[in-house]
Amino acid sequence: MNTASYLPSDYIPIFIQLGLALGFIVTTMIVTHSIGPKRHSQKKDDPFECGIPAQGDARAPISIKYFLIAILFVLFDVEVIFLYPWAVNFLKLGTTGFIQMILFMGLLLAGFYYVIRKGVLNWE
């Protein structure tokens, strides 16, 4: 087993690149701050969200339905991710892999059926 011993001089190119990157970032920030326009007005300093003026309080209560939909989307989206590796290795997995995927899809569809029967996806 050949164990190479690294000298501190071997890391000089990494430190040079790191120094140049940090120097570029700091220089860019200083230059843009110093030569950029500094015009302030009530309209310009007003907070906005995607071009729409802010209205109301940010801590307004949100319906629990919104969170249920979001959680269900993430849940079923993550479940679908498991289909890709199965499809790639379909031939290698054979009959056992096919039966396991049928069981997995059955449980997934049973959960989806339960969600539909509970009326979680009905938006009022």
Output the tens digit of pLDDT for each of the chain's 124 residues: 555 788 888 899 999 999 999 999 999 999 999 998 888 888 777 776 677 766 777 677 888 888 888 888 888 888 888 888 888 998 999 999 999 999 999 998 998 899 889 888 887 6
Task: Say if residue 68 is exposed, middle or buried (CB neighbours under 10 Å; 0-12, 13-18, 19+).
Answer: middle
Q: Residue 84 is encoded by which pair of tokens?
A: 């890709």
pLDDT at 68: 85
For residues 71 and 64, what is the distance between their CA atoms, to the nearest angstrom? 11
In angstroms, rounded to a whole number, what is the distance separating the alpha carbons of residues 65 and 98? 36
Residue 117 pLDDT:
92
Q: Which two tokens stand for residue 68?
A: 């249920």
Q: Provide the residue count of the chain.
A: 124
Q: Can you give the pLDDT at residue 2?
A: 57
Tell the burial category of 49 from Cβ atoms under 10 Å away from its Cβ (0-12, 13-18, 19+). exposed
DSSP string, 18-76: HHHHHHHHHHHHHHHHHHS-----HHHHS-EETTEE--S-TT----HHHHHHHHHHHHH
Q: What is the pLDDT of residue 49?
A: 67
Predicted pLDDT of residue 80: 83
* Model pTM score: 0.47
Q: So what's the pLDDT on residue 92?
A: 92
